[in-house]
Amino acid sequence: MSDIGLNWGVTGWAVIALVVGWPGLLAGALAGLLLWRRHRIAGTLIGAVFGFVACLVAFYFWKMSDWG
């Protein structure tokens, strides 16, 4: 029997999300910066959010599939 608990607080979950979602954050920010040249800051932020969420969703579905 293991005594390791998986009781993480809000900061623990935030760190886990950042570790899992950083590639999407970076790729989305770069894509937003390059694709929306008139509004570079807004494009970067919006792209980063969409990339981060897409990476987390892809990770979730990968772990819930039979492949992971």
Distances (CA, A) of 28 to 1, 18, 53: 42, 14, 10
**Residue span of the structural domain in which 47 resides:** 21-64
Number of domains in the chain: 1
Q: Does some domain include residue 59? A: yes
Residue type, 36: W
39: which DSSP letter?
A: T
Query: What's the pLDDT at 6?
Result: 75
pTM to 2 decimal places:
0.80
d(CA 3, CA 55): 31
Q: What mean pLDDT comes out for the span 22-43?
A: 94
Q: What mean pLDDT comes out for the span 3-24?
A: 88
Q: Does some domain include residue 47? A: yes
Query: What's the pLDDT at 68?
Result: 54
d(CA 48, CA 61): 20
How many CB atoms sit inside 10 A of residue 47's CB? Answer: 23
Q: Does some domain include residue 7? A: no
Q: Does some domain include residue 50? A: yes
Q: Does some domain include residue 13? A: no
Please check whether residue 24 is in contact with residue 57, taking contact to mean a CB–CB distance below 8 angstroms.
no
Q: What mean pLDDT comes out for the span 24-52?
A: 94
Q: Does some domain include residue 46? A: yes
Q: Does some domain include residue 39? A: yes
- In this prediction, residue 66 has a pLDDT band, given cuts at 50, 70 and 90, of confident
